[in-house]
């Protein structure tokens, strides 16, 4: 009997997914080697990467002018990494303060760049998300 992980972080995967990954770990796409042994500039990796970008954009409903970022590091490390890498000079980051994690992201980013809360749900106990008219995207006052 398989066990299930309900903890934060990794999750339980279907057995068929694990078996496919196991086989491809030895020989990816009949290439004679594992994908993790290949160059990140090679055609096999590039195809996987481009498919992942497309799938992520589709799942999140991202507009065509947005590109998903796949960033290494733990969850909270990304709070600072996003600001350090995307917000330079006079650029500002607009954050939706939707609870404890969003507040931490806003605080961490503030150490590295100009950021502001485009919406803050603290007065309502973080019981809802904002509607578009409530967001202050271009005006941080």
Q: State which residues form the domain around 122.
A: 77-134
| Within a domain: 110 | yes
| Within a domain: 33 | no
- Close Cβ partners of 131 (under 8 Å, ≥ 6 residues apart): none
Question: 10 Å Cβ neighbour count for 3?
Answer: 5
| Within a domain: 122 | yes
| Within a domain: 108 | yes
Provide the residue-wise pLDDT of the chain in tens; the chain has 141 residues.
888 888 777 788 899 999 999 999 999 999 999 999 999 999 999 999 999 999 999 998 988 888 888 877 777 888 998 899 899 888 899 999 999 999 999 999 999 999 999 999 998 999 998 887 788 876 555
| Within a domain: 128 | yes
- What's the domain count of the chain? 1
| Within a domain: 81 | yes
| Within a domain: 117 | yes
| Within a domain: 69 | no
Given a contact cutoff of 8 angstroms between Cβ atoms, the answer to whether 129 and 121 are in contact is yes
Let me know the angle formed at the C-alpha of 35 by 29 and 37, rounded to the nearest 5 degrees: 130
């Amino acid at each position: 009997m398989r066990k299930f992980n309900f903890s934060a972080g990794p999750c339980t995967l279907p057995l068929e997914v694990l078996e496919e990954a196991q086989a491809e770990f030895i020989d990816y796409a009949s290439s004679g080697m594992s994908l993790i042994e290949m160059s990140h500039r090679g055609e096999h990796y590039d195809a996987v990467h481009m498919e992942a970008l497309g799938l992520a954009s589709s799942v999140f409903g991202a507009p065509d002018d947005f590109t998903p970022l796949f960033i290494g590091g733990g969850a909270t490390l990304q709070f600072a990494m996003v600001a350090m890498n995307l917000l330079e000079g006079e650029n500002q980051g607009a954050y939706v303060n939707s609870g404890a994690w969003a507040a931490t992201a806003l605080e961490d980013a503030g150490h590295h760049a100009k950021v502001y809360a485009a919406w803050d749900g603290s007065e309502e106990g973080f019981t809802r998300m904002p509607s578009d008219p409530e967001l202050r995207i271009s005006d941080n006052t």
